[in-house]
A and B are shown apart, each in its own frame.
Chain A
C-alpha cells in the first residue's frame, strides 16, 4: 500500500452552545439548563490515497460538511490528528503549512453564501492565485479566462458580479475559484447538487478529467447516490457523526450491508420508477443534541434487536471482511 495523501485519525468535532448571561443567571438560580454540546463528528478515521475519490454520503445534519471542513483545515478538530502527505498537519511550520493549506481546497454546498456578491468574477477567481504568486499580474487576465473555460463559463462574462449569474453558473464560479490555486486535494461539499443535469454531466466529466490530468484526489460529499456511484472509488456512509459503513463503490451498491445503507439505496429516486409511492424509512431523525443510546440508528432500524439499544457498534470488519458498524453484521462473522 502506498502512503495515503490525507489521513485522519480519531477525529471528533464538538460544537458547544454557550449559555448567554440570562441563561447563566437562571442556571445559578437552579434552573435545569446547561450548555449543550453537539457531537457533529465523533471519532472518525479516514484515509484517502493519492488519486483516489472517496465518496461521503449521509443524512442531513450527520456531520458531512463539518468533517469536510475539518479535513480542509477550515475548522480545527476538537480531538484527533490529521496527516497530509504523511505529516501531522499540526506540526507543520510556516511555508509547509501554507503549501498544505493551498493544496487542500474546498468547494462549498451553497453557491449563494460562498461568493462575495460585491466582487467581480475575475477577482473572485484571480485574487488568490495573484496573491500567492501562482500567476503574475500580467498573466492574470489570461489565466482567469483559462480557468473559466475549464469549468464551462464564458470568459466574456468575467466583469460581472456573482449575483448576476444563475445558481448553476455561481457554482461553477466556486469551482473555478478553487481550481485557480492549483490544489492537489479537493473537498467537494455537494458541489454539483445545485447544478442542472447537462452541466452536472459536464462537471462530473470535468472532475474526472482533472483527476487524470492533474492527479487530483477528492473527498466527494454528496447526497446523490447515482453521482457518487459514478465518480467514487470508495464510499463511506455517515450517520449521526460516525461512519457506519465503508467499502468499494462496487460492494456498496451491489451488496450493501448496513441497514442504513440499504435504506438509502432503496429510497433513491430512479428514472425508471414512475409515480412511485415514496415509502421513507420510519421514525424521526434523532437530534444530535441527544443521540439515541447504543446504535444511534436503532430507532429507525427495521432489524434492530434489544442489544442494539445498549451496545455501541464499532466500525470494524464483519461478515466477509466488510467494514460496518452494525452488531448484526459483526455477529454473523462466526
Chain B
C-alpha cells in the first residue's frame, strides 16, 4: 500500500492569554491511496485542528510545535506558505463543516470554481467552466448552468455544501479532508455525496479523511476509524473491530449512546460530564473524570499500545463489551 499521508507525533498548540491549549497533542496515523479513514470524537477534541494542521492553515496564536506530516513522502509540517499554497485546493482539498469557509460570499459560484481550476492548471476558461458545470451535476445540483450564476446566499444550506464539495473535487486531489461535510444534510443528499465520494476514491485512488460525529456514516464509509479525545487518538483500528468490539471506555460509551430503534423513547446511555476543559486537563488519563472503568493506574498518562490488532490508549481495555446493534 502506498501511504499518501503519514502523521506522527503531531502536536499543535494554541498559546492563548489564558494558557496553552494543546488542541492536538501527539497524534499518529497514516492514510493510504484509496483509503477512507473516519476521524470521530467529542466536540473540541482536536479533529478540525488536525485537519487544519495538515493543510498548513494554523494561525497564531496556534502553531505546530512538534511532529511530522509527510505527504507523498515529503515533509510538509511547517513548510513555507508558497509550497502549501500549491498543495491546497490542488493535491489536498478540504471540505469544511461550514460551507461558507470555502465559498466567497461576494463572488458568483462560476467565478469561484473557474478560479479554483485556473489557479493550478493552464486550461481555457471555457474548459474550466464546463468542468465546473459537470462537477455541480455530479453532486446532484439541479440545473447546474443556472446555479453557476448564483451567489452563495441564494442557495439553501444543503446546496451550498454541495457547491463546496464539487469545488474540492475539481482538481482530483490525492487527499481530501472532509470536516463534517454532511452534518446539516438530509439522508438522500448525504447518500448521494457519500456515493460520489466513494466513486471518486475508487476511480482516482484519492485518499480521504472523513471527520464526523456520526458513527453510522463512518461505519458505512470508512475502512479504518480513529477515535479522538482531548487532543489524542485513543483508539484506532479496522472499522469492524472497533465498532463490533470497542476496547476503549470512551468508544464503548459513544457506541452505546447512538439512538437506535430498540431504545426508542427510553433515556439514552450518556457519557457523563462535559467536554474537557482543554486548559485544565487532568494529570493522568484525560478521560478519567468521565470514565466508568477508572482505576488507580489511570493517574498516569496511558501510552499507545497495540491491543487486539489496533492501537489503544487505555490501561483497562473493555473486552467484555460486545456492541449490540
Q: 24 A-B Cβ contacts within 8 A?
A: A59-B189, A61-B156, A109-B157, A110-B184, A112-B98, A153-B274, A190-B184, A196-B213, A197-B215, A199-B43, A223-B184, A223-B190, A227-B259, A229-B264, A230-B259, A267-B191, A270-B220, A271-B216, A272-B219, A273-B220, A278-B192, A278-B221, A280-B195, A287-B146
- Tell me, yes or no, whether A60 is within 8 Å of chain B by CB: yes
A271 close to B243 (CB less than 8 A): yes
Residues of B within 8 Å of A, CB-based: how many?
65
A230: which B residues are within 8 A, CB to CB?
259, 263-265, 268
B254: which A residues are within 8 A, CB to CB?
197-198
Instruction: Report Cα–Cα, A277/B199, bound state, in Å.
Output: 10
Cβ-neighbour of B142 out of A169, A263, A267, A286 (below 8 A): A286
- Tell me, yes or no, whether B200 is within 8 Å of chain A by CB: no
B194 close to A278 (CB less than 8 A): yes
A223 close to B97 (CB less than 8 A): no
Instruction: Report Cα–Cα, A166/B231, bound state, in Å.
Output: 13
* Chain B residues packing against A (C-beta within 8 Å): 40-44, 97-98, 140-143, 146, 154, 156-159, 180, 183-192, 194-195, 198, 213-217, 219-223, 239-240, 243, 253-255, 257-261, 263-265, 267-271, 274-275, 277, 323, 325
Cβ-neighbour of B183 out of A59, A194, A274, A287 (below 8 A): A194
A285 close to B140 (CB less than 8 A): yes
A169 close to B275 (CB less than 8 A): yes
Instruction: Report Cα–Cα, A329/B185, bound state, in Å.
Output: 28
Instruction: Report Cα–Cα, A38/B240, bound state, in Å.
Output: 45
CB-CB contacts below 8 Å: A52-66 with B: 57-61
**B-contact 0/1 string along A145-165, CB 8 Å cutoff:** 000000011100100000001
A198 close to B257 (CB less than 8 A): yes
A279 close to B188 (CB less than 8 A): no
Q: Which residue of A lies closest to B42 (CB)?
A: A196
Instruction: Report Cα–Cα, A23/B234, bound state, in Å.
Output: 58
B141 close to A269 (CB less than 8 A): no
Instruction: Report Cα–Cα, A286/B142, bound state, in Å.
Output: 6
A208: which B residues are within 8 A, CB to CB?
267
- Tell me, yes or no, whether A200 is within 8 Å of chain B by CB: yes
A277: which B residues are within 8 A, CB to CB?
195, 198
Cβ-neighbour of B274 out of A154, A201, A224, A281 (below 8 A): A154
A264 close to B188 (CB less than 8 A): yes
A201 close to B44 (CB less than 8 A): no
Max chain A Cβ within 10 angstroms of own Cβ: one of B159, B184, B268: B268
Max chain B Cβ within 10 angstroms of own Cβ: one of A157, A225, A279, A285: A285
Instruction: Report Cα–Cα, A267/B254, bound state, in Å.
Output: 22
Given A154-B277, A225-B187, A269-B216, are A197 and B159 neighbors across the interface (CB < 8 Å)? no
B220 close to A229 (CB less than 8 A): no
A152 close to B274 (CB less than 8 A): yes
A275 close to B223 (CB less than 8 A): yes
CB distance from B244 to the nearest CB of A (A): 9
B325 close to A272 (CB less than 8 A): yes
Cβ-neighbour of B42 out of A190, A199, A273 (below 8 A): A199
B270 close to A198 (CB less than 8 A): yes
Q: Which residue of A lies closest to B160 (CB)?
A: A60
- Tell me, yes or no, whether A276 is within 8 Å of chain B by CB: yes
- Tell me, yes or no, whether A268 is within 8 Å of chain B by CB: yes
A200: which B residues are within 8 A, CB to CB?
213, 257, 259
A227: which B residues are within 8 A, CB to CB?
259
Instruction: Report Cα–Cα, A57/B189, bound state, in Å.
Output: 13
A253 close to B257 (CB less than 8 A): no
A281: which B residues are within 8 A, CB to CB?
188
Q: Which residue of B lies closest to A66 (CB)?
A: B156
- Tell me, yes or no, whether A226 is within 8 Å of chain B by CB: yes
B188 close to A280 (CB less than 8 A): yes
Instruction: Report Cα–Cα, A273/B217, bound state, in Å.
Output: 9
Instruction: Report Cα–Cα, A157/B142, bound state, in Å.
Output: 45
A226 close to B259 (CB less than 8 A): yes
- Tell me, yes or no, whether A204 is within 8 Å of chain B by CB: yes
A201 close to B184 (CB less than 8 A): no
Instruction: Report Cα–Cα, A293/B297, bound state, in Å.
Output: 68
Instruction: Report Cα–Cα, A253/B184, bound state, in Å.
Output: 22
B188 close to A263 (CB less than 8 A): yes
- Tell me, yes or no, whether A195 is within 8 Å of chain B by CB: yes
CB-CB contacts below 8 Å: A140-196 with B: 152-154, 157, 165-169, 190, 193-196
A229 close to B261 (CB less than 8 A): yes
Instruction: Report Cα–Cα, A58/B214, bound state, in Å.
Output: 19
Max chain B Cβ within 10 angstroms of own Cβ: one of A109, A196, A224: A196
CB distance from A70 to the nearest CB of B (A): 16
Cβ-neighbour of A280 out of B158, B191, B325 (below 8 A): B191
Q: Which residue of A lies closest to B158 (CB)?
A: A60
User: Top 4 A-B pairs ranked by shortest CB distance?
Assistant: A60-B158, A168-B43, A196-B213, A201-B257
B190 close to A269 (CB less than 8 A): yes
Given A61-B156, A154-B277, A264-B188, are A195 and B267 neighbors across the interface (CB < 8 Å)? no
- Tell me, yes or no, whether A213 is within 8 Å of chain B by CB: no
Given A200-B213, A272-B325, are A278 and B220 neighbors across the interface (CB < 8 Å)? yes
Instruction: Report Cα–Cα, A281/B216, bound state, in Å.
Output: 19
